[in-house]
Amino acid sequence: MQFKKLANAILITTSIIALSACTHTKKNMDDDASMRGNNMTSHSETSGAGGRSTYDDNVNRSKGTISKNTYYFDFDKSEIHSNDLPAIYAQADYLMGHPAAKIILEGHTDPRGSREYNVGLGERRANSIAEVLKDRGVNPTQIRVLSYGAERLASNGRTEQEYQLDRRSVVVYIQG
């Protein structure tokens, strides 16, 4: 019994250390981008849950061109709905016109499934939006992908309508 308690304590401690090692601050993101310069790469950066970001409402809604920041997905899918593409294209246009702007694409899932599966699915959802942005010409250094899986639910309910609110990817501007 004593061994189980010790093993659980070690597991919890290492999990906390691992999560804290995965966090990125705005300064770290700026340093990473300046070290790479304007070199275009074919991938976005991915971080574990826990990174901090600040939402700049003025950047995100300037002149009313971008009014949609949350994109919803079907159950167990990461394909973007075609009716969301115009809003994502508007995000791309804004980012290309503002090279100093940076975003975090947060991927979320409903609570069904294992933690590992949900983190992966949330990442795939955020990456699907990142790919559209990059295909439209956005510099990959402006994009960071972060999956929360089912850690930050939009709804605590257990109906299909409430689960739908959890299956999303959110665009968060961290620098403008």
Amino acid 175: pLDDT = 80
Q: Let me know: does 26 contact 175? Beta carbons within 8 Å.
A: yes
Cβ neighbors of 135 (< 8 A, separation 6 or more) are: none
Nearest to 121 by CA among 59, 77, 162, 79: 77
Tens of pLDDT, residue by residue over 1-35, are 554 554 555 545 444 444 444 433 333 434 333 33
Residue 10 resides in a domain: no
Question: Does residue 94 or residue 3 have the better pLDDT?
Answer: 94
| d(C-alpha 122, C-alpha 143), whole Å | 15
Amino acid 67: pLDDT = 73
Q: Let me know: does 37 contact 99? Beta carbons within 8 Å.
A: no
Residue 129 sits in which domain range? 24-175
Kindly report which listed range (24-38, 73-87, 91-105) carries the lowest average pLDDT score: 24-38
Residue 3 resides in a domain: no
Tens of pLDDT, residue by residue over 120-170, are 999 999 999 999 999 999 999 999 999 999 999 999 999 999 999 999 999
Residue 143 resides in a domain: yes
Amino acid 152: pLDDT = 97
CATH number at residue 168: 3.30.1330.60
Residue 15 resides in a domain: no
Number of domains within the chain: 1
Complete DSSP assignment for 35-50? HHTT---S--EEE-TT
pLDDT over threshold 80, residue 48: no
Radius of gyration for the alpha carbons in the chain, expressed in angstroms and rounded: 17
Question: Does residue 174 or residue 34 have the better pLDDT?
Answer: 174
Which helix (DSSP H) or strand (DSSP E) does residue 144 occupy?
strand 143-149
Please, which pLDDT band fits residue 51 given cuts at 50, 70 and 90? very low
Amino acid 52: pLDDT = 38
pTM for the structure as a whole: 0.65
Residue 137 resides in a domain: yes
Residue 141 resides in a domain: yes
Residue 153 resides in a domain: yes
Residue 9 resides in a domain: no
